[in-house]
Structure formats: structure tokens, C-alpha cells
Amino acid sequence: MAPNARHGGRQAKPQQKSGRTDQRQQKRKRDQEDLQKLEERVNELDPKSTETKNFSDLPLSVPTARGLEASHFQTLTDVQAGAIPLALKGNDILGAAKTGSGKTLAFLVPVLEKLYRAQWTEFDGLGALIISPTRELAVQIFEVLRKIGRHHAFSAGLVIGGKSLKEEAERLDRMNILVCTPGRMLQHLDQTAGFDANNLQLLVLDEADRIMDMGFSSSVDALVEHLPKERQTLMFSATQSKKVSDLARLSLNDPEYVSVHEAAVSATPVNLQQHYIVTPLTEKLDTLYGFIKANLKSKIIVFLSSGKQVRFVYESFRHLQPGIPLLHLHGRQKQMARLEITSRFTAAKQSCLFATDVVARGIDFPAVDWVIQADCPEDADTYIHRVGRTARFESNGRAVIFLDPSEETGMLKRLEQKKIPIQKVNVKEKKKKSIKDQLQSMCFQNPDLKYLGQKAFISYTRSIHLQRDKQVFQFKKLDLDGFAASLGLPGTPQIKFQKGEDIKRIKNAPRSGMSSGSESEMELDGSKKPKKKGEVRTKYDRMFERTNQDVLSSHYSKLVLDGDEEKKDGDDDDEGDFLSVKRRLNDDDLDEEAKNAFQSSAKIIEGMGGDEPFIVDSKRREKALKSKKKMLKFKGNPTKLVYDDDGNSHEVYELQDEDDFNQEGPAEELRRKFVEDETTRVREADVDDKQHAKDKRREKRDKRKAREAMEIAGIDPDAAPMLANAEDDGHDPLEFMRSLPMAGQGSGSDSEAEPPKKRAKKWFEDDSDEERKAKKAKKARGKVIEVDQEPETLEDLEALAAGLLD
Ligand SMILES: Nc1ncnc2c1ncn2[C@@H]1O[C@H](COP(=O)(O)OP(=O)(O)OP(=O)(O)O)[C@@H](O)[C@H]1O
């Protein structure tokens, strides 16, 4: 028995092995047959058929069908019914459909199917590229892809910046599907070794008109250069243009136009109620505040024209505590803060989000009650996208736009041209309440807020001045003094305009990361801004550049001159106003008027022999006056002087006899000898100085150690005055702002400054994860990856995406 049993045991292995091989071969055969059937169904599909109502009517692979079902998508929307069959048959598509009509699935389903039918594997590299104009939208598309693609074995990634290029690059070559912003993608195609898109099967442009527009155009053109010409291209937007030049730029091959709502009565969703309020610029904030107060139980998005407007309105309304959680979002915030705010507003039931057009397109916030356009959009297309954040996919929504009397006729004409139904409403007299006095007293008490107000004023007026559509935006008709007063400002800031600027170009100018240089990489890291050559950065500069900050130092405001700000701001602001904070003011840079204004808050120390005047505009600079060393550079080179009998000073050569002077030798040689002697002397002195500095450092270190020792021994070191740090003046420039109460504080609803709560461990952080992953990798492709917890951050999402790779 035993030998037999052993014999039997020895025999079992080859049998088992061949059994497994047979099973694999059978499965492969089955898969091939299924694939063939699927191809046949696609060939037989009539893309114009009106019978296609449900996803189940489409020839879709099992993993896609299961993903759609699990995500509760059953019935096709119009644009999906129009576009998906054509896309499955390999056509290039130009799709236009109203906001919230389901365009995302109209391109994601074909993406998955194309790669599935091509039997794409991780070894085939990048198969599909989806381009989005904003990071937020890219993240959202990625999330939908993750949901409906959960039963596929493809790997998918996000390329939107926010982390170092190197970190992103490491994952790229494993990805089959990438969702990206154009600039960042171009950077990788240009710079990441071993990564290319030579195999690309399908290119998608979401919000295509925006991506083909100014600002993005050069990046997109350069990006397309990297892609193979033989590919399928899908373009979607709610406001699609059919520009022949754009189609040529993308080498579209006989594209099919899917424009499902072209014949519709309105260009906006039918469930959307649209209103306008005529309110003079000088009363706009009053109207906005009153409106928010009257809708405290709502979810509201307020669109403003620039990041500076957003910050001022958010900060000032926060202090007024309207009684609804407030949030704000603009392009200069850090990546993680932007994502955090987006997801907080997504989850909120009642909240008011002040935002720039960074969320005007594509973002699918659920159940938004009101879209308020407090600042008039640059054109009717922007209007359509903004209002499209409400009344999405069969839900109801309301929108209101505030128009200055000078904007009314022009804007209404533009809206009419686009078939946008809108009704005038008036603010009830008893609901009107002026917040001007409160803003004035807040700005008076709080220079930081005043400074934000000044920036907001400049940014707004400048954007109006630069608008292209002069029939709508009539700068001369605006009451600027009244507007400044309505923001609580004590005076009207002066503004300068540069000729030849164009708001559309400025606004569409890509955010950091659009160029392929390394500079933008630093910006995308969210940490450093590239330092311009020779530029001196002070601690105030660094503080000012800190993204996501709500307040500014009072000192910094003193360094700023309104009129001069504009020159450079365009370099660092992506929100449409090219204004900058000038680091230090040189005399030459100031015009007379500005100089007078500036001198009232700063002393200029001149006549010190140096090239640059020393401006005493802060405590730090005042302190520097006491330091000989610090003042050296302002003193210029020393000049040896001699005095005549009357006590007047002269340069040495002025009083010397010319013959004596010539006898001493050639002037050039004398000068060189003098410089050499002095250099030697300085070098010797330098040795002493270094020793001195070393001694001082040692002394300081000893003191610190003694202090630490005292602390360890339980003795209060401050009781020993010798050890107290005399250099620390303890000044906190943000102290005042911090002391003010904030709306929503304590409730946790609006506490952006709050450190994030420690989050629970994720599925991929589990200790045994590696082992589990290894085991899973052995299993058949296409298996579902269990996710214990919903991903919360970008890292989670990416880890998850990497996890999809079998
Ligand atoms: N077939 C469907 N069945 C049910 N819900 C759907 C379907 N397709 C899309 N949706 C839902 O409709 C909403 C809007 O979809 P989506 O974001 O794709 O709209 P969009 O047309 O891209 O809008 P925008 O023009 O603003 O970008 C989403 O919440 C989505 O989940």
C-alpha cells in the first residue's frame, strides 16, 4: 500500500499540472471566443439606432458591464446613446451636450472597451490618455474611471502635479490609462526617460473647447506631437466649437458630430431656473451678504473673478459670521487643500463656497441649490459652465447673476444669443442691509484685511479693464471710489494698466506646471517658487508666498505700493490679474505721487554713498540701522578725503601737485598695488574675524547646552537672565487676525487651519498587504481588488490605481 501510495503520490503531480494547463488553455479559448463574439456584435451595431436605451443594449465587455451595474448606471443619457455606439465602432467624435448630461461616461466606456478589445496588458504601456483642464476635474474623472473600471485589470494613474516630477515618473511606465492636465503630461513626455506614448490608442479631451483655447494651446500642440497619428480621438464639452483649425491641430479623422441638444430651446438644463439682479458695483457685497443670509439652509457656490476677490470676500464674510459654513477655493491654494475643500463641499448639505472659475467646468458637486455669479463671467460660455454646477442630471437648481447697471444690456444680449432663458428679480427692500460700515471698521482694525481688500479692488478693476467684450464691461461707467468704500477701504487704491494685455489670455494662462521647464516642477510641489536670478527674498516674501494663507503680515502691507503692484503680479497669479508685490522700492521706481504716498509709511535713508537707498519700512530694517555690518552694503566703497585749510573735504588727488603725483609712478600700477596691499590686509583681518565668529558660536552653543541641562535638572532657565534669548522679539505678525472670531469655528465646519485629523490605516498600508498582493498577483487577471476603505487623498487614489495593476 505504502509503495503504491507513494507511487500514486508521485503520479499525482504531473496529472495535476497537466490538468491546470488544460484549464488555462480552455479558459484562453473561451476568452478568445468571447472576444470574437464581442467584435462581431460591435460590427453589427447600428450607431444610429434609436433602440439603444440601456447599457445592456450595447456590445460591452463583461468587466465594463459589471462595473456599470455595480455603479448603478442602467439607462443611457442622450449623449451617451449618441456617442458610445459611434465611439465603439472606432470613430473620432466631437461631442456637445448640456452640463450634467453624462459626458464623462460617454468617453470612459469607450476607453475601457477599446483597450479590452485590444487585449491590452501592462506590457503594452500607455493605451489611453484623458486630458482635463483642471486638476479637480481630472481627479473626478479618475474616480469615475475607478468605479466603472473596477473589474478590469488595467492600471490607471493621475498626472496632475502636486508632487515631484520624479515621484510621478516612477509610476508612469506601468500605466495603461492616464488622466492628466496638459502641462504636466507634456513635462513627462519631454523629460521622463523610458516613458512614451507611441502605442496610444485613444486620446480624450474633456472640456475640449477650453483645452484648445488660448493658454493651453501651445502645451496641447506640443503634447500632440508626442502622440501617434493613428489613434482615435474623442472631444467633449457643453460648449463645443467646431473650429476646423482645432480639428486639424488634433488630426481628427472625419469626426462624427454628436450634438444632442442643438435643437433644444435652451443651452442650459431645463430644470435650471435662472435669474439676474441688477445691483450697482458699490452695493454688490451688501446684496451678496443679504442673499447668503436669506439662504442659510442651502448649498451655494459663489463665483468671483479672481483669487484675490475670493480671499477678501471669504475672509471678510467669515468675520461677519453669516451663520452658514463658508469655504473658499482658488488656483493658488495647495493641491491637497484644494482636494480637501472640494471633498468637504461635496459632502456638505449646507455650505457656501466662494470660488474662481477653477470649479466652473465639469465638477459634479451633488445637490447644489444655488449658483451665484457675483462677478459677471467673461462670456456666455463661462456663464453656461458656471450655472451648470447646479441642476445636474435630472435634479433641480437655481442660478442668479449680479449685474452692474452698465453690464445689464450687454450681458443680457450675449445670453439671449446663446438661448439662455433668464428672468429679472429684485431684492426685497426690507432684506437689504448694508455691511459697508462693518467692513470699514474691520479694515480699520485689521490692516491684513484692508490689504486683502486693496488687492481685491485692484484685481477686480483691472479684470474689468482688460475684458475683451467692451459692450458688456464698460470700465468708465464704474464708480470706483464707491466700490473701494464698499469694500471698507479708507481710500481708492491707485491702479496702472499695461497696454496690450488681454483678460482671456491672462485667465487662460496655464497654472503652474504648464511649461515643461524645471521651474514649474518646483511650483507644482507646492513648496517653492522659483527664485528669479538676483532676487532677494525676505521672510515676508516667503510668508506671502505661502499658499493657502488667509492673512498677510501687517509689515508686508507697508512694503506694498498699490500702483506698483501690478507690474509683476502676473508672474505669480493665475487667476486673472497680473499684479505684484514689489519687493523693495527703489527711488527710480516711484513716480512722484507714489513716492509721497509711500514716504508717509516709510523713511528712505539716502545720501549714504551706496547705489540703493535704504528704506526704513519695518522694525527689522530699523534694527538693521544699528548693525554696522548690515549697513556696510549701503555705504558703497570708501573714499579717502583730505581737508583744506578752510575745512572743506577733497579727493586726495585734487590737492596734490601734478608733478609729485606723476613722480610716484603710473596711476594704474599704483592702483593695482594699493588693491593688492589692501587685499592682503583684509585677508589677514578675515582670519581674525573668523576666529572671533567661531568663538561666538561656541559661546552660544555652550549657553544652549547649559540651558538644556538646566531644563533637564528642572531649573527654569529664564530665571537666569543671562541665558534668555535676547534676539527673539516674539512678534507674531498674524496675531491680530488670529484673535478675531471666525464663523463656523468650533463646529469644525469651516476650520481650514485645523490640522487634519489622524486618519485610519488604509487597506494598502496593512502590514500583510505585500504578502496579499503577491498572492493576488498569482491569481488570474481581472480579479476584483477588495478595498476596505474609500480612498480619501490623492495618494490613496494613486495607490489604489497602482493596485489595479494585476
Ligand atoms: N446613465 C446615467 N445614469 C444615471 N446617472 C448618470 C448617468 N450618466 C451620468 N450620470 C450622472 O450625472 C451626473 C453628471 O454627469 P457628468 O459629470 O458626466 O456630466 P457632464 O455632462 O460631464 O457635465 P459637465 O458639462 O458639467 O462636465 C453625474 O453625477 C453622473 O453620475
Give the pLDDT confidence of 696-732 residue by residue, as tens digits: 888 888 888 888 777 766 665 554 443 333 333 333 3
Report in angstroms the alpha-carbon separations of 465 from 403, 435, 511, 568, 647.
Answer: 16, 26, 22, 17, 60
Q: Tell me, in angstroms, the distance from the centre of ligand 1 to residue 100's CA.
A: 5
- Quickly list DSSP for 208-272: HHHHTSTTTHHHHHHHHHTS-SSSEEEEEESS----HHHHHHTT--SPEEEETTTTSS-SS-TTE
The rounded distance, in Å, linking the Cα atoms of 319 and 551 is 12
Whether residue 565 contacts residue 497, with contact meaning beta carbons closer than 8 Å, is answered with: no
Backbone angles phi, psi at 177, to 5 degrees: -130, 130
3-state secondary structure of 725: coil
Question: Nearest-CA neighbor of 237 among 221, 259, 253?
Answer: 259
Mutation test residue for ligand 1: of 55, 101, 261, the one with most atoms within 8 Å of CB = 101
pLDDT in tens, 556-611: 333 333 333 333 333 333 332 222 223 333 333 333 333 343 333 334 443 333 44
Q: Which atom of ligand 1 is nearest to the CA of 366?
A: 29
Q: Is the CB of 661 under 6 A from ligand 1?
A: no
Mean pLDDT of 17-32: 81
Q: Is 240 in the pocket of ligand 1 (CB under 6 A)?
A: no
159 contacts 172 by C-beta, under 8 angstroms: yes
Q: What percent of the chain has pLDDT over 70?
A: 67
Interval between CA 223 and ligand 1 midpoint (Å):
28
How far is it, in rounded angstroms, from Cα 557 to Cα 562? 10
CB atoms within 10 A of CB 678: 10
Cα(722) to centroid of ligand 1, in Å?
A: 69
The residues that bridge with 328 in the sheet, in sequence order, are 354
How large is the average pLDDT for residues 630-637?
A: 65
Query: 104 alpha carbon to ligand 1 midpoint, in Å?
Result: 6
Give the mutation target among 80, 342, 392, 395 for probing the ligand 1 site: most ligand atoms within 8 A of CB.
392
Residues 6+ positions from 133 with CB-CB distance below 8 Å: 181, 182, 206, 207, 210, 211, 216, 361, 362
Give yes or no for a contact between 82 and 94, defined as CB atoms under 8 angstroms apart: no
**105 C-beta closer than 6 A to ligand 1:** yes
625 class by beta-carbon count within 10 Å (0-12 exposed, 13-18 middle, 19+ buried): middle
Distance CA 514, CA 219 (A): 7
| Ligand 1 contacts CB of residue 364 (under 6 A) | yes
Residue in 103, 111, 234 to alter for ligand 1 test, most ligand atoms within 8 A of Cβ? 103
Mean pLDDT, to the nearest integer, of 670-679?
A: 86
How far apart, in whole angstroms, are the C-alpha atoms of residue 495 and residue 710? 57
Count of C-beta atoms within a 10 Å radius of residue 682? 10
Q: What are the φ/ψ torsions at residue 59 (nearest 5 degrees)?
A: -75, 85
Best of 105, 111, 131, 390 to mutate for ligand 1, by most ligand atoms within 8 A of CB?
105
Q: How far apart are CA 349 and CA 278, in angstroms?
A: 29
Residue 531, C-alpha cell as written in the block:
527664485
By CB atoms closer than 10 A (0-12, 13-18, 19+), residue 458 is: buried
CB 206 less than 6 A from any atom of ligand 1: no
Instruction: Report d(CA 791, CA 797) in Å as an integer.
Output: 6
Distance from the CA of 137 to the center of ligand 1, in angstroms?
A: 13
d(CA 804, CA 773): 11
User: Is the model's pLDDT at 524 over the cut of 60?
Assistant: no
> Does the pLDDT at position 799 exceed 80?
no
* Segment holding 649, helix H or strand E: strand 649-651
Question: Among 32-46, 176-190, 387-401, 418-432, which stretch is predicted with the lowest mean pLDDT?
Answer: 418-432
First and final CA of the chain: distance in angstroms?
Answer: 45
The distance from CA 483 to its chain's CA centroid, rounded to whole angstroms, is 28
Rounded to the nearest angstrom, the distance between the alpha carbon of 101 and the centre of ligand 1 is 5
Query: Helix, strand or coil for residue 296?
Result: coil
Q: What is the C-alpha to C-alpha distance for residues 382 and 9, in angstroms, rounded to an integer?
A: 74
State the pTM of this model. Answer: 0.66
- How confident is the prediction for the chain on average, in pLDDT? 76
- pLDDT surpassing 80 at residue 337: yes
Q: Does 75 sit in the ligand 1 pocket, CB within 6 Å?
A: yes
Residue linked to cell 498587504:
769
CA-nearest residue for atom 25, ligand 1, is: 99
Q: In sequence order, what are the beta bridge partners of 631?
A: none
Ligand 1 contacts CB of residue 393 (under 6 A): yes
CA 403 – CA 278 distance, rounded (Å):
5
Atom of ligand 1 nearest to the CA of 80: 1
Among 179-188, 253-262, 356-365, 795-804, the least confident range: 795-804
Q: What integer pLDDT is reported at residue 304 of this predicted model?
A: 98
Please report the atom of ligand 1 found closest to the CA of residue 55.
1
Distance between Cα 364 and ligand 1 center (Å):
8
pLDDT at 791: 46
Q: Give 331-379 as a DSSP string.
A: TTS-HHHHHHHHHHHHH-SSEEEEE-GGGTSS---TT--EEEESS--SS
**Cβ pair 304, 329 in contact under 8 A:** no
Ligand 1 centre to CA of 493 (Å) is 44
Distance 103 CA to ligand 1 centre (A): 6
What pLDDT is recorded for position 301? 98
Q: Which helix (H) or strand (E) holds 128?
A: strand 128-131
Nearest to 132 by CA among 54, 242, 61, 210: 210
User: Are 762 and 770 spatial neighbours (Cβ–Cβ below 8 Å)?
Assistant: no
Atom 7 (ligand 1): residue with closest C-alpha? 102
User: For residue range 399-449, what is the model confidence (pLDDT) as tens digits?
Assistant: 999 999 999 999 999 999 999 999 999 988 777 889 999 999 999 999 999
Angle at 415 between CA 414 and CA 416, to 5 degrees: 90
For the stretch 149-182, pLDDT in tens is 999 999 999 999 877 888 888 888 889 999 999 9
Question: Quick count: other Cβ atoms within 10 Å of Cβ 38?
Answer: 18
Query: How many angstroms is it from 393 CA to the middle of ligand 1?
Result: 6
Mutate to test the pocket of ligand 1, among 104, 206, 239, 384 (most ligand atoms within 8 A of CB): 104
How many Å apart are CA 513 and CA 508, to the nearest integer?
13
448 CB near ligand 1 (under 6 Å): no
Ligand 1 atom closest to Cα of residue 237: 25
Q: Which of 547, 553, 550, 556 is nearest to 527 (CA)?
A: 547
Alpha-helical (H) ranges within 269-331 are 284-294, 307-320
Which among 53, 71, 76, 77 is the best mutation to test ligand 1's pocket, defined by most ligand atoms within 8 Å of the CB?
77
Q: Which helix (H) or strand (E) holds 103?
A: helix 103-117
Q: What is the 3-state secondary structure (H, E, C) of 422-485?
A: CEECCCCHHHCCCCHHHHHHHHHHCHHHHHHHHHHHHHHHHHHHHCCCCCCCCHHHCCHHHHHH
For residue 467, report the distance from its CA to the centre of ligand 1, in Å.
32
Determine the distance separating the centroid of ligand 1 and the alpha carbon of 102, expressed in angstroms: 3
**CB neighbours of residue 362 within 10 Å:** 26
Decide whether any atom of ligand 1 lies within 6 Å of the 388 Cβ.
Answer: yes
CA distance 553 to 559: 10
